[in-house]
Structure 1
Amino acid sequence: MPEIYVSTDCETDGPIPGPNSMLSFASAAFTADKKLVSTFSANLDLLPGATGDPKTMEFWRSQPKAWEACRTDTRPPEVVMTEYVAWLRSLPGKPVFVGYPVAFDFLFVYWYLIRFAGESPFSHSALDIKTMAMVMLGKPYRDATKRNMPSRWFDETPHTHVALDDAIGQGQLFCNMLAELRSVKR
């Protein structure tokens, strides 16, 4: 069964799930050859008792279009995460979570999957684009940032802080990096 790379981006109102809520998330499923197979996107209701982190909410005040996009048509997390599991299972391959930074996005998605769907089709595994860049560039981890990555790795997809836009853009980045890595390994 081939791997399907599920590039995922979350928009949240703080740094950790539970005290803070995942506002929106989206996944773009790619084959290794950069074919976009399917997408999933949802805006979620806030967690009961959770509050927005002051620093994070300050960021959102500077992004009114993105804030509006992630607060439109919100739905209960238990409904969304159950649908997400079904979507992941419908993909034509084994899903591999891909994120930038993976430690943040996977933390939220995994927590929500376990809390509201009772399972994670990703298991405990997630692939970090930044770590991959560190290895490919031969730079220290903290220097493996987008501004230090070669332009050939990027498509012209804008980073908008709208989860689906950002999931697609980082999925394209990952596939471009993977293609280059595989061409060097041959």
Structure 2
Amino acid sequence: MATPIFIVTDIESDGPTPLHNSMLSFASVAIAGDGTRHGEFEAVLTPRPDRTTNDTTMDWWATQPEAWKAATEGAEEPTIVMPRFADWVESLPGPKVFVAAPMIFDGLWMDHYLDEYAGTRALSGPFKGRQIFRGGGICLYTMAGTLRGAPYLDWGMSKLPAEFYGHIAHTHKAIDDARGFANVLVELLKLSSALPPITGSKSDFR
């Protein structure tokens, strides 16, 4: 079986939804399950002219000057960045799997921007055309909750010990957060590999 490369991604935005707001920056760490690194990708994006900022989000950004600087300096057009990112993903060995924490936020943004600007998706499925990722991706938030044996209302990335992050602080700078989440993924895969295997039908990964 081919060894997957996990593309652990964190995004920063000026609001809660790609339907109304813009993605400001994102970063990805390509990592194998054993912790082997296969590179990183960072980008800062120009805001979309057809979107607005969210007041609550911008008030929060005002309290994070260093992270705001990292998320806005040296911005490039998403029409340039997203195809470059898709090419980088495809250049990596083996099947690639998208990872985010949580998938419903970071994954939603990446899926929308890749669809809009690169003719592909973050989440694979029964779609025609270019597919750079395999399967539906991994929600690190969900994985962390279930493998810790915690009840649903006690899930959360902040509940994990600092050792899981490799003691990398969550700074809201996309690359810092992606690196920390990549370390978390490796730790959780160790927990998963220690569980009794469950056999079933053939994988439906595409």
Q: What is the total number of aligned residue pairs between the two structures?
A: 186
Is 1:177 aligned with 2:178? no
Partner of 2:127: none
- On the 8 A contact 2:97/2:134 being kept in 1, the answer is no
Write the deviation string for residues 54-110 of structure 1: whole angstroms up to 9, x where unpaired: 111011000000101111110000110000010000111211111111110010000
- On the 8 A contact 1:18/1:47 being kept in 2, the answer is no
Equivalents in 2 of 1:17, 1:130: separation in Å? 20
Residues 75, 147 of structure 1: CA spacing in aligned structure 2 closer, same or farther, 3 A cutoff? closer
Query: What are structure 1's unaligned runs of at least 5 residues?
Result: none
Partner of 1:110: 111
Partner of 1:40: 41
- On the 8 A contact 1:130/1:141 being kept in 2, the answer is no
Which structure ranks higher in relative contact order (CA pairs < 8 Å, sequence separation ≥ 6)? 1
Is 1:149 aligned with 2:168? no
Aligned amino acid, residue 38 of structure 2: V
- On the 8 A contact 2:10/2:106 being kept in 1, the answer is yes
Equivalents in 2 of 1:110, 1:123: separation in Å? 13
Equivalents in 1 of 2:168, 2:196: separation in Å? 27
Partner of 1:71: 72
Query: What are structure 2's unaligned runs of at least 5 residues?
Result: 122-131, 198-206
Q: Secondary structure at the match of 2:99?
A: strand
Equivalents in 1 of 2:85, 2:153: separation in Å? 32
> Among the aligned pairs, what percent are the same residue?
37
| TM-score, length of structure 2 as denominator length | 0.85
**Pairwise CA distance, 1:181:** 2.0
Is 1:133 aligned with 2:144? yes
Partner of 2:204: none
Equivalents in 1 of 2:137, 2:38: separation in Å? 19
Write the deviation string for residues 103-158 of structure 1: whole angstroms up to 9, x where unpaired: 10010000000000111222661201121122212222231123433454231111
Aligned amino acid, residue 23 of structure 1: L
Q: Secondary structure at the match of 2:29?
A: strand
| TM-score, length of structure 1 as denominator length | 0.94
Which structure features the higher share of helix residues?
A: 1
- What value does the CA root-mean-square deviation take over the aligned residues? 1.6
Equivalents in 1 of 2:57, 2:98: separation in Å? 24
